[in-house]
Amino acid sequence: MYTFKKLQQIVDKHLNNLELNNEPSELYEPIKYILEIGGKRIRPSLVLAAYNLFNDEVENAIQPALALEVFHNFTLLHDDIMDKADLRRNQQTVHKKWGENVAILSGDAMSIKAYELLGNIPEEFLPEVLKAFNITALQVCEGQQLDMNFEGRMDVSVNEYIEMIRLKTSVLIAVCLKIGAIMANATKTDAQKLYDFGLNLGLAFQLQDDYLDAYGDVHVFGKKIGGDIVANKKTFLLTKAFETADEKTTNELKNLISDTDIGEEQKIKDVLAIYNQLNVDKLLKECMESYYDKAIQALESTSVEHDKNYILKEFAGKLMNRES
C-alpha cells in the first residue's frame, strides 16, 4: 500500500510531465501556471488511493487522476473570474495576470484536455468512467450556479446550502474515489460505498471550512478570519442563524449584512456575537461530525480488508483535524 504522501508525489511527477502545446503561448502558459502554483493534489491522489485498495499498480489509474486534477483546476480558474478573486494559492489569479478573456479560453482548453486524458484509459472502463465524470461535471456547474443564486437571497435554508456544497464541492471528491474503484475493477457496491465515503467527507470538509473562516486562528488558518462574514457569503453558520433566530435577532443580523458603513472588524465581532448567542458554532460541529461519521461508516462497510483502508481513514482524520 502506498502512503497518501507517496501518491501525491506520483501525481506531481506526472503533472510535471503533462504534454501541453507551447503555441499560442497566451493560451497554454496560463494552464501551466495554474497547474504549477501548488495545490495539495487531493482529488487525483484519491483516485490512486481508491485504486490501491484493490490493486498495487496505481499508475494504471494515472490518466483519470490527471484528468480530474485538470478539470478541478479549470473550475477554479473560472470560479476566480466569477468571484473577482485576486489571489489563488497566494499567487495572482489567471484573470488578473492575463485578463478575463484569456482566463476563460484557457479554462475551456483545460476542460477539453481533461476529456483527452480520459480518452487514454482502457476501452473496457471508458463508458462507466465517462458517465460518472459527465454527471459530476454538470453537478459542479449546478452547484456554482446555486452559489451565485444565493448571493441575492436572504432566505437560503440550511438544506439548500448543504445541497449547494454537495454539488459544488463534495461530488468531485466522491467521483474521484468511484473512478479509482472502477479502474481497479471493483464491484459496483464497493465503488458506490467509496463514493459515499467521499461525498460525506466532502460535506464535512466544507463545513469545517465554514467554521475555520469564522473561528480559526489567523496565524494557523493562513488568511484573515471572518472573510465570509465581511462578504455576506452564505455559509452554514449564517443560514442556521437565520433559521434559529427570533425576529429581533433576525433583524439585527439583516441590518449587519446590509450595513455598508460598519467597519469590517466591528461587523465580524457583532456577527460572531450573534452566532455565539445562537450556538450555531456548536450546531455546525455536530453536523460536521455526523457527516464525518457517515463517511467512515461507508468506508468500513466496503469489502476491503481493514488493514488496507487505513490510508483513506488516516487521510480523512488528518483532513478533519486541520486548522488551515
The whole-chain average pLDDT of the chain stands at: 94
Is residue 317 in a domain?
yes
Kindly give, in sequence order, each residue whose CB lies less than 8 Å from that of residue 244, ignoring residues fewer than 6 positions away.
278, 280, 283
**Predicted pLDDT at 195:** 98
Q: What number is the average pLDDT over the span 57-65?
A: 98
Q: Give residue-wise pLDDT tens across range 68-123.
A: 999 999 999 999 999 888 888 888 999 999 999 999 999 999 999 999 999 999 99
Is residue 24 in a domain?
no
Is residue 155 in a domain?
no
Instruction: Identify the CATH number of the domain in which residue 213 sits.
Output: 1.10.600.10
pLDDT at 223 over 80: no
Is residue 287 in a domain?
yes
Find the domain containing 212 and state its range: 165-170+186-324
Looking from the CA of 131 toward its CB, the CA atoms found within 13 Å total 7
Is residue 205 in a domain?
yes
Q: What number is the average pLDDT over the span 192-219?
A: 93
pLDDT at 268 over 90: yes
Is residue 237 in a domain?
yes
Consecutive H or E run containing 28: helix 25-36
Is residue 15 in a domain?
no
pLDDT band at 221 (very low <50, low <70, confident <90, very high): low
Is residue 80 in a domain?
no
- Residue 315, φ and ψ in degrees, nearest 5: -60, -45
How many other C-beta atoms lie within 10 A of the C-beta of residue 319? 18
Kindly give, in sequence order, each residue whose CB lies less than 8 Å from that of residue 276, ignoring residues fewer than 6 positions away.
none
pTM of the model: 0.94
pLDDT at 322 over 80: no
The number of domains in the chain is 1
The candidate with the shortest Cα–Cα distance to 47, out of 147, 156, 191, is 191
**Predicted pLDDT at 217:** 76
Query: 208-216 — which CB contacts under 8 Å span 24+ positions?
Result: 208/288, 208/320, 208/322, 210/235, 210/236, 210/237, 210/284, 211/237, 211/281, 211/284, 211/285, 211/288, 212/323, 212/324, 214/272, 214/275, 214/281, 215/272, 215/281, 216/323, 216/324
Asked if residues 267 and 194 have their Cβ atoms less than 8 Å apart, the reply is no
SS3 128: helix
